[in-house]
Each structure stands twice: as structure tokens, then as C-alpha cells.
Amino acid sequence: MQDNVSNTSEEIQAEAGLSGRARRLSPGQRLWDAAGSYVSVAFGSIVGGVARYLVSVLFVSQLGDGFPWGTLFVNVTGSFIIGFYAALTGPDGRLLVSVNQRLFVMVGICGGYTTFSAFSLETLRFLQSGEVRSALVYLLVSITTWIAGVWIGHMLAMRLNRLRT
């Protein structure tokens, strides 16, 4: 099931209580309506990509490059973050944010931060070097912790959503 992060201008206006009113958009607002989602994703991707690089450098400097701990960490924490944020800002969520804010975090930051391509390459390298057991452990640990991370993040945000303000 896909979490919907895209709304039309009419849906956004209806949510904000602006439907039924004549509203004239400035040229800047029309441009933002047309390009804002792309800008949000682009800037979020920069933040996520830089964060991933910094985490990878930190893990290699502290633990060496024998096992891809950095990639495992970013994929688990990224799974947690997207699960938490999706539930917190979803239709029944506690936090009301714009579509572009959801795109910035969920598509931009989480997409730039997590990396299936690095995971795939690292698994292939284990296999090419004859470390089949390491490849299988990495595969199983990764998938299990990613699913656990997104589930824990989602459940935590749902509990937070139920708290009275």
C-alpha cells in the first residue's frame, strides 16, 4: 500500500478551508504550486544524501570497512523515520503538514538517506568474494531490521497520535 503524499491545489485549499472562495494566485504562488514539489524533493535529497555520506564515513572510521555497518544503519534508521513521519503526518496523524513538507521528508530526505543500491552492491561484493554466509546474514538482517524499523516508527507515531493534547 502506498502512502499518498500528493494532493491537488483544490484538495489543499479544501483542507485549509479555502474552497468555495475566489482566490487569485500570484505569479510566485503559481510557480511554487507547479515546481514546489520538485524543489522540496531536491532539497530533501541533498540533506539525506549528505547525512548518509557522513554516517558512512563515521562508521568506516570507527568500525572499518569489513562489513557495511553504515549502510545497514542508514537503511534501518531511514525505515524508522519514514514509518514514524508517515503515521504522524498522515490523515489520522497528530501533525498537519503540507504536501511539500511530506515530500521533503519522505521522498527527499528518506530517499536520499537510505540506499538500496549500495546494499545491493555490497551484497554482490560479498558473493563475488566467496563470502556467501556474510551475504546471507547481511540480506536477512537488513530486511528484518528495515521492516522492524518502519513498523516501530509507525507504531510509535500512532501512539503519539492517540495522546490527548
Where do the domains of the chain lie? 25-162
Among 33-37, 38-42, 61-65, name the one with the lowest average pLDDT: 33-37
Lowest mean pLDDT among 23-37, 52-66, 95-109: 23-37
pLDDT band at 107 (very low <50, low <70, confident <90, very high): very high
pTM summary value = 0.77
Please name the residue that has the C-alpha cell 540506499: 115
CA dist 69 and 63 (Å) reads 8
Is residue 4 classed exposed, middle or buried when 0-12, 13-18 and 19+ CB atoms within 10 A define those classes?
exposed
Q: Among residues 70, 47, 48, 67, which one has the least CA distance to residue 58?
A: 70
For 112-124, what is the mean pLDDT? 92
DSSP state of 109: I
pLDDT value for 22: 54
Identify whether the C-beta of residue 52 lies closer than 8 Å to the C-beta of residue 115: yes
